[in-house]
């Protein structure tokens, strides 16, 4: 069946903007996005490490990964492979081999609204992978699917080229258009919270955190 490709690549904001979010917790990014966006129900399966990059999106029917294989021929450095698998947990869409292909293509990681397998290989590696579940059952490879179209991941709409950030708390995404202003706000909140923690350690905390 047909795989529709809306674009072979995604636009990327300046590298310094993307890298600026490398030390930004997803919780603080979310705070500065009115605490509204963010994928629900995904968890990290890799050993450790931050996920930061731009969304290279894939939509596929439940339990079928033909479109992901096609996407792996197109992704490159800086791309986060974002897969809308409809939240299906009955068949794994990605396993160890597809993890290694993505690494070889120098992608930044996977975000999958669906299941994975070969979880031990992910757990032994720092290559980021966020998914909904683990199951041994493999996928079909029949299609259809779409590449680089808006997708829904755990209730969050992600468009091609959106910035995607993932850490131990989960995954959040946002448009590159407002990323510079968002980064400035995130950095300001990090500084405020660091000052609050310092005040607690030094015994001079005045209850300001609950009022912010």
Binding residues for substrate: 95-98, 117
Among residues 96, 130, 97, the alpha carbon closest in space to that of 115 is found at 130
Nearby residues of 100 by Cβ (< 8 Å), 6 or more positions away: none
DSSP single-letter state for residue 211: G
DSSP single-letter state for residue 178: G
Residues flagged as binding site for Mg(2+): 118
Residues flagged as binding site: 95-98, 117-118
Alpha carbons 159 and 37: distance in angstroms, whole number: 13
Count of other CB atoms within 10 angstroms of residue 61 = 17
Alpha carbons 150 and 84: distance in angstroms, whole number: 9
Among residues 149, 168, 176, 33, the alpha carbon closest in space to that of 84 is found at 149
Among residues 51, 29, 54, the alpha carbon closest in space to that of 42 is found at 51
């Amino acid at each position: 069946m047909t795989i529709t490709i809306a674009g072979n690549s995604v636009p990327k904001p300046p590298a310094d903007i993307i890298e600026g979010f490398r030390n930004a917790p997803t919780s603080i990014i979310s705070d500065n996005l009115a605490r509204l966006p963010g994928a629900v129900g995904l968890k990290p399966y890799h050993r450790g490490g931050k996920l930061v990059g731009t969304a290279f999106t894939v939509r596929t029917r439940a339990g079928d990964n033909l479109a992901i294989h096609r996407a792996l021929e197109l992704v490159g450095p800086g791309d986060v492979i974002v897969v809308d698998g409809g939240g299906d947990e009955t068949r794994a869409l990605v396993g160890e081999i597809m993890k290694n292909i993505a690494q070889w293509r120098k992608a930044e990681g996977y975000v999958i609204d669906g299941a994975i397998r070969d979880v031990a290989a992910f757990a032994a590696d720092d290559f980021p992978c966020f998914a909904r579940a683990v199951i041994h059952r493999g996928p079909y490879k029949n299609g259809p699917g779409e590449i680089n179209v808006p997708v829904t991941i755990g209730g969050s709409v992600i468009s091609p080229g959106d910035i995607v950030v993932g850490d131990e708390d989960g995954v959040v995404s946002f448009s590159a258009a407002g990323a510079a202003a968002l980064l400035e706000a995130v950095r300001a909140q990090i500084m405020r919270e660091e000052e609050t923690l310092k005040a607690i350690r030094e015994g001079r905390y005045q209850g300001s955190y609950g009022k912010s």
